[in-house]
Amino acid sequence: ESETTLVSHHLVLSQKVMMEDGKVAEGKERKDVFQAPPPVIMFSGSGLNSSKGLRRQKRDWVIPPINVAENSRGPFPQMLVSIRSDQDQDISIRYSITGVGADQPPNEVFNIDPVLGKMFVTKPLDREHRSSYHLRAHAVDMNGNQVENPIDLYIFVIDMNDNRPEFKNQVYNGSVDEGSKPGTYVMHLSAFDADDNTTANGMVRYRILSQTPHSPIPNMFTINSETGDIVTVAPGLDREKVSQYTIIVQATDMEGNLNFGLSNTATAIITVTDINDNPPMLTSRTFSGEVPENRVDVVVANLTVIDADQAHSPNWNAIYQIISGDQFGHFTIRTDPVTNDGMVTVVKPVDFEMNRSFMLKVAVSNQAHLASGIQSSLQSTADVTISVQDVNEPPYFPTNPKHIRFEEGVPAGTSLTTFSASDPDRLHMQSIRYSKLNDPADWLSINRTNGQIVTTGMLDRESIYVKNNIYEATFLATDNGSPAASGTGTLQIYLIDINDNPPALIPKESQICERMNKNVNGVNITAADADTDPNAGPFVFELPNFPTSIRRNWTISRISGDYARLGLRYQVYLEPGVYEVPIIVSDSGNPPLSNRSVIKVKVCPCDENGDCTTLGAVAAAGLGTGAIISILICVIILLSMVLLFVVWIKRREKERQTKQLLIDPEDDVRDNILKYDEEGGGEEDQDYDLSQLQQPDSLEHIISKPPGVRRVDERPIIPESQYPIRPVVPHPGDIGDFIHEGLRAADNDPTAPPYDSLLVFDYEGSGSTAGSVSSLNSSSTGDQDYDYLNDWGPRFKKLADMYGGGDDD
């Protein structure tokens, strides 16, 4: 051959067409199309065991994909293709396939006969789950050696119309303005079909099935069959007639073929939105009302309006305006937010004497502008007549408050001014009476008929009722109308100061050193005057001529206009004490006023700093040396008595603590044998039956006794008596009865101790290893030597005298 090739055989391929008609969903009988023999796919001849050297390979044949229809009814396994190698005539070959759907999940969708090379599909396929598969076919010998290069197999799942269109929502909401023109976009609907959208199976078309209501026509809207956009097709949308439409939309696949396609429906709710196409209209062309004069915030008329647009929206809310008739702004119109009515309200008082009635022209409009092409109604304007009612108005003072100026100190009966009022009701010719409402100092009176004000007391600028030189009083003016009305006026009197208050010396008390010091020159003094300039300072300070000792001992030197210094004359020595120094103070009034004041000066010894010493302060208080010594002696005596009392208390406490150690040894009860009583001889000298004092070993002799015979020291073996039970909350009158009943029961109880006999208090057993107490010898004779008791100290002296004393006794 002129050209060597690795491909020894060409590919012979034919396919079996396995497509169902697609009309199964419509219930028609399935038809099988022409079936070709099973295709055979041959491996290329360039096997791996070729003995020839490497040569240029010719281009392989392109293997067309294998098409398999989804939802096939079988039977399964269903053969798809046959794979062969031209070497199967020489050696035994095993075939296999790999890839998704074979040996990878989902496994075993496809398998192959390893000997014959026939590939099968084992179950129905779903294109919506997986639309294609990529497998590789392999050929190996019995030893597992690869004899052919793998070939690629592409399996495509052919779509069938097995899915209906699905809307994302079952209900869609849209809106469109009323009065919209035809072709106005309203809303969009869309449906999804899981089938292949490149085929008719997934191509969806839309149409409108119904419209509710049918007003004004049944077909007010249309829908784009491919996009799902809904638009208007006719004019006449009016919210006031139809505010909402309900449309049923159908989506069908197979390009809208109703015979073969699958369908689904959804609901579209279209709301007709309001526009301001209805102007507000007043219900009447004229309105009327009335208002009393001098009243504000009063509704005098109510304007009613009708608007067909949507309530409580800008297209419905009314705005009222006064076009004419209210030049001075006495009225305004407020909108009731609930009813939309206009309330004509007085905002500025009206006067009957000035205007007895008002003729207003009002207009009404909406918050929103009227829609294009809509004209205002003739009923949007109206006339409002308001009548003013006359009422009795109170008198008023033209000048309020009224200011006047007067000097203080004017005598009682002085006429100050005439404070008169005016009556606004000029047409009634009413009279006015005056009275005093507030006069804090009771200095004024007013004439009842003409309002003349006269003083009843002397005006005093320095009074507590005068603030900042102004005295204020209030008066009342009352007319004789029905009902009577009154007004108030304030009179302010500015009081001009006169020199009517003498100055007062400050301070009233001070202290000074008994001997003059260069650093301490005296006491600084000044004065206070209730008057103001020029009737106050500067002040003049002088010492009186009498008594003569004042000018002889004291001196005053001027510091400034309002201050001076009081001091002792040079080389004058005064005894420590308190001295009353009179000083004459004069102000600068015309004529000036003087005042003789007394200052108490304490003269005392001072230290180097010019401060009074403690002793000097006491001496300066007016006490002599003898008095001071007497006070000190009294203090010392008092302290001595307190000290003696404390010492006596301490000593007595010490004696009480040591008294026990001073008791006579005969009276000391500690560590001594005391003789309480003499009971006679021992048990051997008495004829006692000691068996009565011992507890019996058993009770048989008691039980065996005849009835009625018992020991008097035994507890009777009989039922115990019943004692009364005390109530939980006894009545005070029952306490005595309870005590008597308990006592009676105890007296009659034979089991209650004591039993009027010897009682067994303790039992020490029968018999005793110890001898009788009478065997003890009380005498001191014998071989025992008790002289050692003398060595035990004074506490054992009594025993030593009794037993170790020798033959003294």
The CA-CA-CA angle for residues 637, 638, 639, to 5°, reads 90
How does residue 358 score in pLDDT terms, banded at 50, 70 and 90? very high
pLDDT tens sequence across 584-636: 898 888 888 888 989 998 888 887 776 777 655 555 555 556 677 888 899 99
Structure tokens at 714: 């035994």
Count of Cβ atoms closer than 10 Å to residue 655 Cβ: 10
Could you list the beta-strand ranges (E) of 351-414. Answer: 357-366, 381-389, 402-407
Tokens for 642, please give them.
């307190």
Compute the distance between CA of residue 51 and CA of residue 612 in angstroms, rounded to an integer: 146
Cβ contact 543:522 at 8 Å: no
pLDDT average, residue stretch 404-413: 89
Mean of the per-residue pLDDT values for the chain?
A: 79
689 vs 376, higher pLDDT:
376
Rounded Cα distance, 103 and 86, in Å: 26
Q: Answer with the residue of higher pLDDT: 755 or 443.
A: 443
Query: Locate tokens 């099935």: which residue?
Result: 209
| Per-residue confidence (pLDDT) for residue 184, from 0 to 100 | 94
3-state secondary structure of 794: helix
The structure tokens 């001196």 sit at 555
Beta bridge partners of 438: 474
Report the largest interatomic distance among the alpha carbons of the chain, rounded to a whole angstrom.
177
Spatial distance between the Cα atoms of 256 and 378, rounded to a whole number of angstroms: 55
Instruction: Identify the structural domains of the chain with CATH numbers, from first to last.
Output: 66-158 (2.60.40.60), 166-273 (2.60.40.60), 282-389 (2.60.40.60), 402-496 (2.60.40.60), 504-604 (2.60.40.60)
Give tens-digit pLDDT for 203-227: 999 999 999 999 999 999 999 999 9
Compute φ and ψ for 802, nearest 5 degrees: -75, -40
The SS3 assignment for 95 reads strand
Q: Which pLDDT band, with edges at 50, 70 and 90, does 301 fall under?
A: very high
- The answer to whether residues 401 and 490 touch, using CB atoms and an 8 Å cutoff, is yes
CA atoms of 303 and 332, how far apart (whole Å)? 12
| Res. 47: pLDDT tops 60 | no
> If 0-12 CB within 10 Å is exposed, 13-18 middle and 19+ buried, where does residue 152 land?
exposed
Predicted local confidence at residue 621, as pLDDT: 54
Residue 726's pLDDT is 58
Tokens 């000691």 correspond to 690
What single string gives the DSSP state of each residue in 49-83? Answer: T--S---PPPPPPPPPPEEEETT----SSEEEEEE
State residue 52 phi and psi, 5-degree precision. Answer: -80, 155
Which is higher by pLDDT, 664 or 151? 151
772 CB burial (10 A radius; 0-12, 13-18, 19+) = exposed
The pLDDT of residue 2:
29
Structure tokens at 67: 């098409």
Note the pLDDT tens digit of each residue in 327-338.
989 999 999 999
Mean pLDDT on 356-383: 87
Residue 718 above 80 pLDDT? no
Long-range contacts of 792-801 (CB under 8 A, 24+ apart): 794/665, 795/670, 795/671, 795/672, 796/671, 797/665, 798/665, 798/672, 798/673, 799/673
Q: What angle do CA 95, 100, 102 make, to 5 degrees?
A: 35
Residue 667: per-residue pLDDT = 53
> Residue 450 pLDDT > 50, yes or no?
yes
- Paired tokens of 328: 């001075």
**Structure pTM?**
0.48
Give pLDDT, residue 210: 95
pLDDT digits (tens, 9 = 90+) for 452-463: 999 999 899 889
Two tokens, residue 744: 């009676």
Q: Report how far residue 83's alpha carbon sits from residue 135's, in angstroms, rounded to the nearest whole number.
A: 13
Which pLDDT score is estimated for 745? Answer: 78
Give me the residues paired with residue 434 across strands. 477
Mean pLDDT lowest among 58-67, 383-392, 479-488, 496-505: 58-67
With a cut of 90, say whether residue 746 has pLDDT above it: no
